[in-house]
Amino acid sequence: MLMLYFSGTGNSKYIAELFCNVMNTHFSQTASAGLPAQCCSIEEKIDFKQLISSHETIGFCYPIYGSRVPRIMREFVGRHLEYLKDKKVIIFCTQWIFSGDGARVFTDMFSHNFIKVIYAEHFLMPNNVNNLFILPLENEKKIKKYLTNAERKMQIVCNNIINGIIKKRGFNVFSRFLGLFQGVFMSIWEKKALDLVKVYDDCNQCGLCVSICPMRNFENRNGKSIAKGNCTICYRCINKCPQKAIAVFLKAKVKKQYKRL
């Protein structure tokens, strides 16, 4: 089993690694045959075509952005489409509160019966949007609670997968209906966000945003960090900048940062 993930601020990485740990613990305890579950970020510079081809079951884990799969993940799937044909697929979507059909929207990238979804699940994780006062960041105690609940849920999910039980969260008509509204709203913002990253004068030119942005959206021009209009709205730079000098969407300055990574 191969679990591929994109994670802006660490939540989806946590879930993807948790899945592999639980699966591998099970296999070692039951002495089952087969290769261990392998976890890999889509940001790695490796031959994914070869990696995907050598696995029968591929998992995908990503954060939901208003019932939309992050653009970076959609582009990754687009580049590897032919290698995914007829694969068994597990979909994990991480979200703060609600996405409607956050796991199902992943299947919109494929024609009917192109892949075989054997499991789809949503995991509630801490909020990482840190520049909207209506979406407050949680304290450490609350964050730990999310992680404990996710660990409990993952045990059930892995047991189900091992026993061949198929569950597809977000695939029913009601979830699809709710997801539709969020998806339309987010697709508008997604286009706007391309160009909405702002670097304030507080920037001390440390270069961190240039090296951590998964879209290579920043470059250092004449000693100043500049955003180039290629943002996937992952909120990584906003949460990591040591000067809290980066904003997206709203021009409001960041007060707190989410530190999962």
Ligand X SMILES: Cc1cc2nc3c(=O)[nH]c(=O)nc-3n(C[C@H](O)[C@H](O)[C@H](O)COP(=O)(O)O)c2cc1C
Interacting residue ranges for ligand SF4, rule: CB under 6 A: 8, 197, 199, 203-209, 213-215, 217, 225, 227, 231-238, 241-243, 245-246, 248
d(CA 136, CA 23): 33
Residues 199 and 244: beta-carbon distance below 8 Å = no
List binders of ligand X among 127-166 (CB under 6 A). 127-129
Q: Write down the least CB distance from residue 193 to ligand X, Å.
A: 8
Please give the structure tokens belonging to residue 42. 């889509």
Of 1, 2, 3, 11, the residue at the interface with ligand X (CB under 6 A) is 11
Instruction: Report what 197 binds from ligand X, ligand SF4, none; CB cut-off 5-8 Å by kind.
Output: ligand SF4
* SS3 label, residue 75: helix
Q: Which of 39, 59, 60, 65 binds ligand X (CB under 6 A)?
A: 65
The CA distance from 67 to 76, in Å, is: 18
> What does 237 bind: ligand SF4, ligand X, none (CB cut-off 5 to 8 Å by kind)?
ligand SF4
Alpha-carbon distance values, 46 to 10, 11, 41, 49, 58 (Å): 20, 22, 10, 9, 16
Choose among ligand SF4, ligand X, none what residue 98 binds, the Cβ cut-off being 5 to 8 Å by kind. ligand X
Distance CA 227, CA 231 (A): 8
* Cα(6)–Cα(72) distance, integer angstroms: 8
Q: What are phi and psi of 93, to 5 degrees?
A: -115, 130
Which of the stretches 7-15, 71-79, 147-155, 157-165 binds ligand X when contact is defined by CB under 6 A? 7-15
Smallest separation (angstroms) from ligand X to the CB of 27:
25
Helices (H), 8-88: 11-30, 48-53, 71-79, 81-84
Task: Count interface residues toward ligand X (CB under 6 A).
Answer: 25
Pick what 19 binds: ligand X, ligand SF4, none; C-beta below 5 to 8 Å, kind-dependent.
none
Q: Which residues of the shown chain bind ligand X in the complex (CB under 6 A)? A: 7-12, 63-66, 94-99, 125, 127-129, 182, 233-235, 260
